[in-house]
Amino acid sequence: MTDAAVFHDIPENNPQASDTPIRFSFSGTGSEYFRIWIVNLLFSILTLGIYSAWAKVRRTRYFYGSSSVAGTSFEYHGNPIAILKGRIMAVVLIVIYNIALEMSNLVGLLMVLAVMAATPWLIWKSLQFKLYNTSYRGIRFGFRGALKQIYWVYLALPILTALSLFILGPFTHQRIKKFQHQESRFGTSHFSFSATVGSFYKAYLLVFVIWLAGIIAISVTLGGTLFAIITADAMDREGAAAAGAAGVFLFFGALYIWMFLLFPIFATLIQNLIWNNTQLEKHRFLSDMKWTRMAFITVTNIIGIICTLGLFLPFAQIRAMKYRIECMSLLPDGSLENFIAASQQQVSATGEGVADLLDFDLSL
């Protein structure tokens, strides 16, 4: 199919200077999204999950419509019927797998291998579906990517990473992100990705050093106290036992909290690393997330969700999304209107539905 080029007029207020970053903004609110979330949840339960495809479209359109740059928001064009078909196929595959597993271990193993072989193709279709159904100023995004590349990045490399005891983890992570970004396009303009494998290893190593320093600090601070309590004089056995139990709880609780706080540190480092090395032709992206702020949002969100028995979840999602998006900037090189919209054949939504059902994170 021949690509059709569509040119757009350049508005007078369009930024031209390449030294003026344009902040992304997010206008969504917790109260607005709560109404969408509660209706989606109720209808999905009442329809035994069938409405979940429509719920996904409503949710995605709200988040896209609330995200904007240079005064224009993004749009989502996903078809809920297409997504529902993909999810039905996913359910069928899972049922077949369970039946095969009941028949014999060999048949179950063959089914697992078949699913593994199909997964890269499903991911490929999912990426195509998501990007094709996303637009900005009337111009659609798109995704190229050869099938052999998909199998290398999403099947061969993960297997090699597991065999290497995850030593190849940063390498695989870099290759996945490089593939996702370099094969994505906006109209006929392609993204590029310049982050090196070494930079990913440095990020992982930094997180490991921070984790190790925290473990040592907690062990020295609380471990010594715990040891002193346990080996205390036997004159007050009951008091020492109670204090020892409290000390053990405090020690492992501190370790758990520290492990939990590593997530926002890692998420901050990775987002900044990825987007500070991504360009759309000569237009650069910038990210200046702070891990302290991200950690505060994460911890308070968890507390809010626990205290409200889950009802704070939509507010938590909005808080996290708002911060991540508003830490992003676009450093334009000339007009933002000089992109060419290219038509693209509608891709199958099968991969999208399966990916969602199996909870794959394919966000770019």
SS3 (DSSP) at 308: coil
SS3 (DSSP) at 360: coil
pLDDT band at residue 310 under the 50/70/90 scheme: very high
Residues 6+ apart with CB under 8 A from 48: none
Q: What average pLDDT does range 72-80 have in this prediction?
A: 92
Listing DSSP states for 47-110 in one string gives TTTTTHHHHHHHHHHHHHHHEEETTEEEEE---HHHHHHHHHHHHHHHHHHHHHHHH-HHHHHH
Q: Is the pLDDT of residue 195 over 60?
A: yes
pLDDT band at residue 225 under the 50/70/90 scheme: low
SS3 (DSSP) at 283: strand
| Predicted confidence (pLDDT) per residue in 149-163, tens digit | 999 999 999 999 999
Q: Is the pLDDT of residue 226 over 70?
A: no
Q: Output the pLDDT for position 8.
A: 39
Residues 6+ apart with CB under 8 A from 301: 312, 315, 316, 319, 320
| Predicted confidence (pLDDT) per residue in 102-150, tens digit | 888 888 888 889 888 988 988 888 888 889 899 988 888 989 888 899 9
pLDDT band at residue 15 under the 50/70/90 scheme: very low
Specify the residue for token string 């998909």: 150
Q: Which two tokens stand for residue 338?
A: 């000089």
Q: Output the pLDDT for position 251.
A: 78
Burial of 363 (0-12, 13-18, 19+ CB in 10 A): exposed
pLDDT band at residue 12 under the 50/70/90 scheme: very low
Burial of 154 (0-12, 13-18, 19+ CB in 10 A): buried
Cα(264)–Cα(362) distance, rounded to whole angstroms? 19
Single pTM value for the model: 0.83
Q: Output the pLDDT for position 170.
A: 98
Mean pLDDT of the chain: 83
Q: How many CA atoms lie within 13 A of 240 on its CB side?
A: 11
